[in-house]
Amino acid sequence: KQEVTQIPAALSVPEGENLVLNCSFTDSAIYNLQWFRQDPGKGLTSLLLIQSSQREQTSGRLNASLDKSSGRSTLYIAASQPGDSATYLCASDNYGQNFVFGPGTRLSVLP
């Protein structure tokens, strides 16, 4: 059964820094991997989805990469802003299973 972990659990950085969030999964037979953002008490907003045949996806200041062989995905945020403060979740969509979510990384960007 797929297990998804995320490190760090929490991260605090000053505004303007570039940062990397990590996601690891145990079963490499994934169909795709999706990154989400969740603001406190709110639903999830999809950020990027990487299909298993892709290596990375980019949207604005966000870049997500996928390495199936090592069971890892990273979310790179460039020039962080206070508005980026949220919890970031990764989820893998696996063959024969449904989405399995990681516990999330809580990001605080300080002005």
Judged by CB under 8 A, the residue of 2, 34, 85, 105 near other proteins is: 34
Beta carbon nearer to other proteins, 14 or 60: 60
Q: How far apart are CA 89 and CA 48, in angstroms?
A: 11
Q: How far apart are CA 32 and CA 48, in angstroms?
A: 10
For the bound state, the minimum distance from the C-beta of residue 35 to other proteins, rounded and expressed in Å, comes to 11
H/E/C letters for each residue in 1-48?
CCCEEEECCEEEEECCCCEEEEEEECCCCEEEEEEEEECCCCCEEEEE
Judged by CB under 8 A, the residue of 4, 66, 75, 107 near other proteins is: 4
71 binds other proteins (CB under 8 A): no
**Do residues 30 and 71 touch, judged by C-beta distance below 8 A?**
no
Other CB atoms within 10 Å distance of the CB of residue 27: 17
56 binds other proteins (CB under 8 A): no
Binding residues with other proteins: total (CB under 8 A): 23
Beta carbon nearer to other proteins, 76 or 99: 99
51 binds other proteins (CB under 8 A): yes
For the bound state, the minimum distance from the C-beta of residue 55 to other proteins, rounded and expressed in Å, comes to 15
